[in-house]
Amino acid sequence: MDDFYDTDVGVQTSDILVLPSTFLGTLWSELQSVGNEKARSILFNCGHTVGKSLSVNYVDMGTEDLDMVLNQAWAEAGLGHLFVLDTNEEHVVVKLENLLESDSGIRLMVLCHPHNPTGNVLTAEELSLLVDIAHRHNLIIVSDEIHGDLVHPGASHIPMLSIPGADSCTVTVASGIKTFAFGGIRCAVAQTGSKKIFEQLNTVPSALLGGANRMGAEASIVAWDTGESWVDEMKNTLDSNRHLLVDRLNEELPAIGIHLPQSTFVAWLDLSNYEPGERPATWMRGLTNVAGQNGLNFGAEGAGHLRLTFGTSPKILNQMIDQMVAGLPIL
CB–CB of 130/109 below 8 Å? Answer: yes
| Helix H or strand E encompassing 102 | helix 89-102
Domain with CATH 3.40.640.10 in the chain: 2-226
For 108, phi then psi, to 5°, come to -135, 125
Sheet holding 106-112: strands in order across? 16-19, 188-192, 170-174, 140-144, 106-112, 41-44, 80-82
Pick the CATH number of 229-327 from 3.20.20.20, 3.90.1150.10, 3.20.20.120, 1.10.3720.10: 3.90.1150.10
Q: What is the CATH number of domain 2-226?
A: 3.40.640.10
- With a cut of 80, say whether residue 226 has pLDDT above it: yes
CB–CB of 310/324 below 8 Å? Answer: no
Average pLDDT over every residue of 142-171: 93
Nearest-angstrom CA–CA distance, 247 and 28: 41
Q: How confident is the model at residue 211 (pLDDT cuts 50, 70, 90)?
A: low
pLDDT > 90: percent of the chain: 39
Q: Mean of the per-residue pLDDT values for the chain?
A: 75
Query: How far from chain centre, in Å, is Cα 252?
Result: 30
Domain with CATH 3.90.1150.10 in the chain: 229-327
78-81: long-range contacts, CB 8 A cutoff, minimum separation 24: 78/40, 78/41, 78/105, 79/40, 79/41, 79/42, 79/54, 79/55, 80/41, 80/42, 80/43, 80/44, 80/54, 81/41, 81/42, 81/43, 81/44, 81/106
Nearest-angstrom CA–CA distance, 173 and 203: 17
- With a cut of 50, say whether residue 312 has pLDDT above it: yes
